[in-house]
Amino acid sequence: MTIWDKLNHFKQYGTDHWGNSDKMNPMLLLMLDQLRDAYGSPFVVFEGFAISGHVQGSMHYLGSAVDFYIKDDLDFYSQITRICTLLAEVRMFCVGWQNSRCCWVTASEITGLGIYPDNRIPSFHLDIRGKAARWGRADGKYVSFKDALKRSKS
């Protein structure tokens, strides 16, 4: 049994484009699957593991990043808002106990999230990097998350 057998919404050999699917980070796949489950609409992955075509040090080169878009009727700004809310709710790791309760690390605390409102189909980058990072891409250059979010409203 592999990590792919444990996922509800993604298949190793299907319509999604994982690159070399054997090199995908299992924790990223589990998080993406949980996020997709909570969101309730299909995610279409168009980039996973890669050996070129990204910035130096890209998480794609480690199999720890995906680029995807969401197939639903929401506008991109609403999709971004929903993804950000859900990332804060998806529990990843129990890192200790306090008063007999688990102290959870949420997905938002360990992920990089990029938003790309100018893509032909507005899309997301999601990676596991061990810390939070947010950015956007507009007019062919990397910009702040805030600036890309403004762009997504227009």
Q: pLDDT tens digits for 13-64?
A: 888 999 999 999 999 999 999 999 999 999 999 999 999 888 899 999 999 9
Residue 99 confidence (pLDDT): 85
Residue 154, pLDDT above cutoff 80: no
Residue 95 confidence (pLDDT): 81
- DSSP annotation of 57 reads T
Residue 141 bridge partners (DSSP) = 138
Residue 34 confidence (pLDDT): 95
Residue 153 confidence (pLDDT): 85
Q: What does the alpha-carbon distance between residue 96 and residue 102 come to, in Å, rounded to a whole number? A: 6
What's the pLDDT tens digit per position in 69-126? 999 999 999 999 999 999 999 888 788 888 888 888 899 999 999 999 999 999 999 9
Q: What does the alpha-carbon distance between residue 42 and residue 99 come to, in Å, rounded to a whole number? A: 38
Look at domain 3-153 and name its CATH class: alpha beta
> How many residues in the chain?
154
Q: What does the alpha-carbon distance between residue 53 and residue 60 come to, in Å, rounded to a whole number? A: 9
